[in-house]
Amino acid sequence: MPRRTLSVPHPTGDPTPSNFGEKDPLKSNEDPHAGAPEEKVELRKKVTLLRGISIITGTIIGAGIFISPKGILKNSGSVGMSLVVWIACGILSLFGALSYAELGTSIKKSGGHYTYILEAFGPKMAFMRMWVDMIAIRPAGLAVIALAFGRYILEPLFMPCGVPEIAIKLATTIGLTAVMYLNSMSVSWTARIQIFLTFTKLLTIAVIIVPGVYLLFKGQTKNFENAFEVSTVHLSGLPLAFYSGMFAYAGWFYLNFVTEEVENPERTVPLAICISMAIVMICYTMTNVAYYTVMSAEELLASDAVAVTFAEKLMGNFSFAVPVFVALSCFGSMNGCLFAISRMFYVASREGQLPEVLAMIHIRRHTPLPAVIVLYPITLLILFLGDIYSLLNFMSFLRWLFIGVAVIGLIYMRYTRPDMPRPFKVPIFIPAVFSLTCFFMVFLSLYSDPINTGIGFAISLTGIPAYYIFIHCERKPKWFQKFSDYVNRSLQIILEVVPADQ
């Protein structure tokens, strides 16, 4: 479908043609600036190495490490084995991240999973991935992180009482709106705040690690005695422990969603991924060591918020500040996630698989405003009306299924497109091991929770009729075409957006 352009107000107040950069023959004799080239409307390369590291690190490190690392301990059965699982999941996630580093440097398009599946396996499978993301996975994921933000930002105000649910949802809505506004207004400020929040997270983790390791070196090692006791290890639970660990590391792929905005992606993408994964692995492992130094396994399993319990035992009155740090951590995860995911919708629209207005850019802010705000109404609807956690259970296995498919695409393109430039190339066993891990987790979901997994699979299959109705079918009714054109044109005027200059 051909793109339509629209005359929009210029920042100075003078009308300017939608063809930015061309002279207006009616004004060339009277406007001294008529012959000057207009500023290109495009997404600019503003993601530096530091900003790339902050996107990955700040999105991976969410509320989980502060609240509930007990899932891995519960399923692994011992302190020592839980630490092994944390390290092993970090290495497996690094394998996935290195695979995505090759994909990101050989396919220099934004969009992440969507783009790589599109390049390897075609538009139908890519559309199914994007469809499930838009209708369920991303709105539910954002709603969960936003709810954690709302709960923990209010907790110090209501201590020692519980926080009312309506107050949590109001705070959640404010936090979500703030993230949407920030991402709509400025790429630079979004990146700066992400850097600040990432340093805040790392500072919080340092506050946990330093006193814990200090006590460990002073000889407080009783909780590590018999750390690998065989009788307590549950072999049947180890796959579930790995499942929890891989989710804790999820987020290493988000820089690949914004590849077109990365400065020198051939160097920046692999370097940012490797540095970020090293930081996260060290932080996660040492944070758990600090927890076990101060708390016994029984105390950790009994805690609903491990970092709060840790602070109460070690820091006394300082513990009231921990929920605030957790809330800031959640805000950083929301910010990084939305910044990245909006680019997938932008690219999908550019490929003709979403309404064309989603591939347009604000004329002054240079942000993909429609792609940023498209999730806002769906997320609020799920937040107030939906069963968020059930929806996440339905969709959890689909995330790993499609990530596994994207990495299989890397192996597939090694043979089908051997001449593709690959500035960064990993040994073939790395994507092979990681994709097998993804498919193992999918199989585990089918075995351990067949009902929820089946429902999630059924929801994903709705992408097939949607593809044929909205994408494949070229002869759409005239009323549908007119309505679509009217909506796109109206939104273009209201949001002050235009197609990006090519």
Question: In the CATH scheme, what is the code of domain 43-499?
Answer: 1.20.1740.10
- pLDDT, position 366: 85
Q: Give me the phi and psi of 77, to 5 degrees please.
A: 95, -15
- What does the H/E/C string look like for 91-157? HHHHHHHHHHHHHHHHCCCCCCHHHHHHHHHCHHHHHHHHHHHHHHHHHHHHHHHHHHHHHHHHHHH
Tally of helices (H runs) and strands (E runs) in the chain: 21, 4
In the beta sheet, which residues pair with residue 362? 497
Q: Give me the phi and psi of 74, to 5 degrees please.
A: -60, -40
The span from the CA of 388 to the CA of 105, in Å, is: 35
Q: How far is CA 452 from the centre of its chain?
A: 23
pLDDT in tens, the chain (502 residues): 444 444 444 444 444 333 333 444 334 444 444 444 456 666 777 788 998 999 999 888 877 787 668 778 888 878 888 898 899 999 999 999 999 999 999 998 888 899 999 999 999 999 998 998 888 888 888 888 888 888 888 888 877 777 888 898 899 999 999 999 999 988 888 888 989 999 988 988 898 899 888 898 888 888 787 777 766 666 666 777 887 888 888 888 989 998 888 888 888 999 999 999 999 999 999 999 999 998 888 888 887 778 878 888 887 766 777 888 888 888 998 998 999 899 999 999 999 898 888 989 888 888 899 999 998 998 888 888 766 666 666 667 788 888 999 999 999 999 999 889 888 999 999 999 999 988 888 887 777 778 877 887 888 888 888 888 888 777 777 777 888 888 888 888 888 888 876 4
The span from the CA of 256 to the CA of 265, in Å, is: 10
Got the DSSP string for 166-229?
Answer: HHHHHHHHHHHHHHHHHHHH-HHHHHHHHHHHHHHHHHHHHHHHHHHHHHHHTT--GGGTTTT-
Q: How far is CA 17 from the centre of its chain?
A: 37
The span from the CA of 294 to the CA of 180, in Å, is: 39
Side chain identity, residue 385: L
- pLDDT, position 136: 80
| Residue 462 CA neighbour count, 13 Å, CB half | 11
The predicted-structure confidence for 48-76, as pLDDT tens digits, reads as follows 899 899 999 988 887 778 766 877 888 88
Q: Confirm if 55 and 194 have CB atoms less than 8 A apart.
A: yes
- pLDDT, position 11: 42
Dig out the tokens for 263 from the structure.
């400065």
Q: Confirm if 340 and 255 have CB atoms less than 8 A apart.
A: yes
- pLDDT, position 271: 93
- pLDDT, position 442: 82
Among 356, 347, 368, 372, smallest CA distance to 111 is for: 347
Q: Confirm if 143 and 382 have CB atoms less than 8 A apart.
A: yes
Q: Confirm if 221 and 303 have CB atoms less than 8 A apart.
A: no
- pLDDT, position 415: 92
Task: Give the DSSP letter of residue 38.
Answer: P
Q: Where does residue 316 rank: exposed (0-12), middle (13-18), buried (19+ CB within 10 A)?
A: exposed
Among 289, 343, 280, 347, smallest CA distance to 96 is for: 280
Which residues neighbour 354 within 8 Å (Cβ) at sequence distance 6 or greater?
130, 134, 345, 348
- pLDDT, position 231: 63
- pLDDT, position 8: 42
The span from the CA of 238 to the CA of 81, in Å, is: 9
- pLDDT, position 4: 42
- pLDDT, position 101: 92
Dig out the tokens for 101 from the structure.
């580093």
Side chain identity, residue 254: Y
Dig out the tokens for 482 from the structure.
């007119």
The span from the CA of 194 to the CA of 199, in Å, is: 9
The predicted-structure confidence for 375-411, as pLDDT tens digits, reads as follows 899 888 888 876 666 666 666 778 888 899 999 999 9
The span from the CA of 217 to the CA of 355, in Å, is: 59
**Domain boundaries of the chain, sorted by first residue:** 43-499
Among 339, 353, 53, smallest CA distance to 195 is for: 53
The long-range contacts involving 132-136, CB below 8 angstroms and separated by at least 24 positions, are 132/395, 132/398, 132/402, 132/459, 132/460, 132/463, 133/341, 133/344, 134/345, 134/354, 134/374, 134/375, 134/378, 135/378, 135/459, 135/462, 136/391, 136/394, 136/395, 136/459
